[in-house]
Structure 1
Amino acid sequence: MGSSRPSVTERVLSILGAFSPGRTVMSLAEISRQTGLPAATAHRLLGELTRWGALERDDDGLYRVGLRLWEVGALAPRGLGLREAAMPFLEDLYEATHENVQLAVLDGLEVLYVERIAGRDAVHVFTQIGLRFPAHATGVGLALLAHAHPDVQERAITGPLRRFTPKTLGSGGQLRRALAEIRRTGVAISDGQVELHALSVAAPVFGPADIAVAAVSIVVPADGFDWRVLVPAVRASARGISRALGAPRALRSPDSAIHRSD
């Protein structure tokens, strides 16, 4: 028996899902190709999405995400509310260092970057708001995985673990040991795991239920930079955001230990 045809909802979601940080503007033909929808079907659904405001169509016939969809997305508890609570602390961390500062949340086995402050003269990083990346390879991802539900941790540990550089954690045993150490210390150092020239210092952010809801990090050059001096500042930033979100554990004394995940 053949598979059932996708529902209208699935088709609409496939159109919205075709947009990404690398594809923010697309033509009808590109959307049809990305989604596998016939051009006539894609055109009809694009018209409905545009009339509702989920998408916008410019004079050249190209589509992009509309403000109405952004307004709805901003209602997500890990979206606008988290960013509003975090921004004062992220700005303080940036002003103290003038390095790249990031805020991310965990979605499955990936991290989604929801905020970023980029230093003009800071080390180049690949991240941008809305970008997803495998959690095991990033500082924010390791900090979040270390405090995720055990089922999520086991899924990550059993892999597969994609390697981006020779320093990326490539085995379940390495990842399991790293997560245990991060839980003990409360901070993760991702040294050259995504790009060899970059190192990130990350700490988890907790919500009202004392569950990790996000992670904050700062990214600096891997060479010629004493990352140890950043640990107290990153931990203090994460703790401040946690306190703003109402996390009971934010009132406890932080551990002074540090962890390097190479």
Structure 2
Amino acid sequence: MGGVTDVLDPASVLGKAIIVLNAFAADDTGVAFAELQRRTSLPKATLHRVAGDLVKARLLVRIDGDYHLGSHLFELGMRASVERTLLEVATPFIEDLYERTHETVHLGLREGAQVVYVAKIGGHRQAPSPSRIGGRMPVHATAIGKALLAWADEDERTTVLSGRLERLTPRTITAPGRLRQQLDSARENGVAFEYEESAVGLVCVASPVLDTNDRPIAAISVTGAVTRFRPADQATLVRAAAAGVAATLARRGRLGEPLA
């Protein structure tokens, strides 16, 4: 499962609750109790008790016998200061980027070897994409992930490059040396590219949002169908949008404006 469960005792009450919440996938519309038990491996009685407590806390809801993530989780998520501020600042820039390109625009963060998508804007003609708000993808297989990893500390890069690089499509880069070359190129040019590496038929360009110490806060990407979209043609726009978000965040910090 990864993430917070790596540092929590899975036998604790909180650990069990996190295991249950993490068992839900981004595309789940409802999960039956039997499936939830299969995913969590918790004893039946324990899962009944934990799920019941989560329902009482509005972190889960039960509809027609299936469990769904509750609206209170969304409320709590919107109170997260860093992500909320980032969304407030980035939204005008990613909306403008969409208007200029009419392709799918993403805003994402890195958590270890994964990208977490926190915003996605796409029109009626957007190409089918595996990304979704709150969903995750491997950093090595996405332009947005490569943009974030390119500016990460060397030890973080090494950790990802020495780990398992899953092949999602025939074009996914799984050779650490070749991936490192792409990261170095992204660092030099300010943008990273993806050519049908996360999904067949999709190409993408991304640029990082950097803080005043050149550390990656987030990244912005534009994704389109390989039949019509040329990522290199939009590199300047994507780079400018990421720089605009970075400059606005820095200005808020300098002026002492609240970041939450």
Interval containing the TM-score (normalised by the shorter chain): 0.7 to 0.9
Among 241, 245, 248, which residue is 1:241 paired with?
245
Q: Paired residue for 1:46?
A: 51
1:213 corresponds, among 187, 199, 217, to 217
Report matched runs for 1:27-176 at 5 Å.
27-58=32-63, 60-176=64-180
Contact kept in structure 1, 2:150 and 2:183, CA below 8 Å: yes
Shift of 1:88: 0.7
Q: How many Å separate the matches in 1 of 2:47 and 2:74?
A: 21
Inter-partner Cα distance in structure 1 for 2:111 and 2:139: 9
Whether the aligned pair in 1 keeps the contact of 2:10 and 2:16 (CA below 8 Å) is: no
Tell me the distance in 1 between the aligned counterparts of 2:191 and 2:92: 21
- The TM-score with structure 1 as length reference comes to 0.86
Q: Quick one: structure 1 residues 171 and 247, their matched pair in 2 at CA, closer, same or farther if it must change by over 3 Å?
A: farther
Contact persistence 1:206–1:247 (CA under 8 A):
no
Question: Residue 5 of structure 1: CA displacement?
Answer: 7.4
Contact 2:10 2:19 survives alignment (8 Å): no
Whether 1:19 and 2:24 are equivalent positions in the alignment is yes
**Distance (whole Å) between structure 1 residues aligned to residue 138 and residue 10 of structure 2:** 31
Flag the 1:227–1:69 CA change in 2: closer, same or farther, 3 A: closer
For 2:85 and 2:213, the matched residues in 1 are separated by: 16
The structural deviation recorded for 1:132 is: 0.8
- Partner of 1:79, secondary structure, is helix
| 2:14 equivalent to 1:6 | no
Q: 2:158, 2:13 → 1: CA distance?
A: 35
- Give the Å deviation of 1:247: 7.0
Shift of 1:166: 3.1
1:190 to 182, 191, 194: 194
Q: How far is 1:123 from its partner?
A: 2.1
Helix, strand or coil at the partner of 2:72: helix
Displacement of 1:187 in angstroms is 0.4
Count of residues paired in the alignment: 244
- 1:128 aligned counterpart, secondary structure: coil
C-alpha distance in 2, partners of 1:17/1:5? 12
Please give the secondary structure, in 1, of the residue aligned with 2:174. coil
Letter in 2 for 1:118: G
Are the aligned partners of 2:151 and 2:214 in contact in 1 as well (CA < 8 Å)? no
How far, CA to CA, are the matches of 1:203 and 1:48 in structure 2?
42
- Per-residue CA deviation, residues 165-190 of structure 1 (Å, 9 max, x unaligned), is 33221211101111111111110111
Structure 1, unmatched stretches of 5+, are: 249-262
- Partner Cα separation in structure 2 for residue 47 and residue 166 of structure 1: 44
TM-score calculated relative to the size of structure 2: 0.87
Look up the SS of the partner of 1:102 in the other structure: strand
Tell me the CA shift for residue 28 of structure 1: 2.4
Residues 146-166 of structure 1 show CA distances to partners (whole Å, capped at 9, x for unaligned) of 011211100122232122233
Deviation at 1:78, TM superposition (A): 4.2
Change (3 A) 1:169 1:40: same
